[in-house]
Amino acid sequence: MRGIDEVQVTQTANDTNETTGWPWPHFPRSDDPSVGVDQQTYDDLVRYTKYASGAYQFQSIITSTKGFIARDDNREEFVVAFKGSSDTTTILLDASIILAPLKGPGLPPLDPSAVSRSAEPRVHVGFLLGYNSVAQKVLDELALQLRAYPSYNIVACGHSLGGSFASIASVAFSHTFPRRCVTLYTFGQPRTGNPPFAELVERAIGTERIYRCVHLVDGVPTMIPTQLGYRHFGAEYWQFTELGAPKNVKHFEGGEDPNGSGNIPSTGVNPAHWVYFLQREFSKHVHALTRAPLSPQVASTIKVMLTKSFWTCSHRLGSNCMHLGELMRIPPTNA
């Protein structure tokens, strides 16, 4: 093992008893749906929330960590989790808010027939730079792993700005590995690009495999206004009440559905942004994905041998344990 620190993370897909202490029972004027999402969908939302939070967990150990790649032999998939930023407000509102052409490793070439800049996919230039800083190393490692595991699919996930990186990466994964099923999970993701980019994500991934999650009145998803040329892609999953249950998550196919969370005026980075699906793991003050002891039937222990920067995990599965080791350092390309 080449790791320098060992961190234990406990995760479950079925633990819904923890309370967050959020004071509101649900967003005002939000009607309870007669039917929410199904239990499996909800369990998957919880599961990939924890994957997305894993990148934050190591912030206090090595601040240059950008995320990780993990192999899940039970589900036959590779999970690529991108870390966001603790300085979300500054990044979202500085000069990098301008839209840049979608160019980078693994991304499809721009359509030369586009008659104007507004007709080509464009994204927040800061998000694009963040993706490009690690993209080639991630794609190379995925290609290597997929040759060894040809039946495995890919999941991209991330919280906050990490969700934006994941959305760009998902397009690259779909284009680079067209025979793989790519699924996207984001949590508290800001608007990332213009309408052509949103359409590209929906077309490349398929809205049935897109899970863009919003918690209560999280202000980050609407912090960048549509008036600047940005638009969310579908599908949206809005947890409109604090009570963790499938019936309390609304599903909207469209990216800017007027009945969804987009109608909430943005209040910026607020407490709802740091709590997703009954967990506070996105805060820099939290060091574990869950605090309560879990039964062996629903828990798996991940032993992570951490190096630095963007790293890759391979693992062997035991009866209840998943061991991650042999981490490969994947530094930013400009390092």
144 occurs within a structural domain:
yes
130 occurs within a structural domain:
yes
> pLDDT averaged over the chain?
73
Residue 29 has pLDDT above 50, yes or no: no
80 occurs within a structural domain:
yes
CA atoms within 13 A on the CB side of 76: 8
Give the model confidence (pLDDT) of 208-237 as tens digits. Answer: 999 999 998 888 999 999 999 999 998 999
Question: Residue 139 — pLDDT band, cuts 50, 70, 90?
Answer: very high
At residue 80, the 3 state secondary structure works out as strand
Least confident of 2-6, 20-24, 56-60, 122-126: 2-6
230 occurs within a structural domain:
yes
Residue 36 confidence (pLDDT): 85
315 occurs within a structural domain:
no
CA distance 197 to 167: 10
Residue 88 confidence (pLDDT): 64
At residue 94, the 3 state secondary structure works out as coil
Residue 28 confidence (pLDDT): 47
90 occurs within a structural domain:
yes
Burial annotation 151-171 (CB, 10 A radius, 16+ → b, else e):
ebbbbbbbbbbbbbbbbbbbb
Phi first, then psi, for residue 281 (nearest 5°) are -70, -10
Residue 129 confidence (pLDDT): 87
Residue 198 has pLDDT above 50, yes or no: yes
CATH of the domain at 29: 3.40.50.1820
16 occurs within a structural domain:
no
Residue 14 has pLDDT above 80, yes or no: no
Q: Which residue has the higher pLDDT, 275 or 114?
A: 275
CA distance 115 to 162: 31
Mean pLDDT within 170-198: 97
Q: How many domains does the chain have?
A: 1
**Are 216 and 24 spatial neighbours (Cβ–Cβ below 8 Å)?**
yes
**Are 185 and 157 spatial neighbours (Cβ–Cβ below 8 Å)?**
yes
Mean pLDDT within 309-327: 33
Residue 232 confidence (pLDDT): 97
Neighbours of 67 (CB within 10 A): 28
Question: Residue 110 — pLDDT band, cuts 50, 70, 90?
Answer: confident
What percent of the chain is modeled with pLDDT above 70? 64
Give the model confidence (pLDDT) of 251-262 as tens digits. Answer: 998 888 888 888
* Structure token pair of residue 54: 């894993």
Mean pLDDT within 268-274: 84
Residue 286 has pLDDT above 50, yes or no: no
Residue 53 confidence (pLDDT): 82
**Are 175 and 205 spatial neighbours (Cβ–Cβ below 8 Å)?**
no
What's the CA angle centered on 154, arms 238 and 285, to 5 degrees? Answer: 55
298 occurs within a structural domain:
no
Residue 183 confidence (pLDDT): 98
Mean pLDDT within 67-85: 88
Q: Which domain holds residue 103?
A: 21-286
Residue 159 has pLDDT above 50, yes or no: yes
Residue 16 has pLDDT above 60, yes or no: no
Which DSSP category does 153 fall into?
E
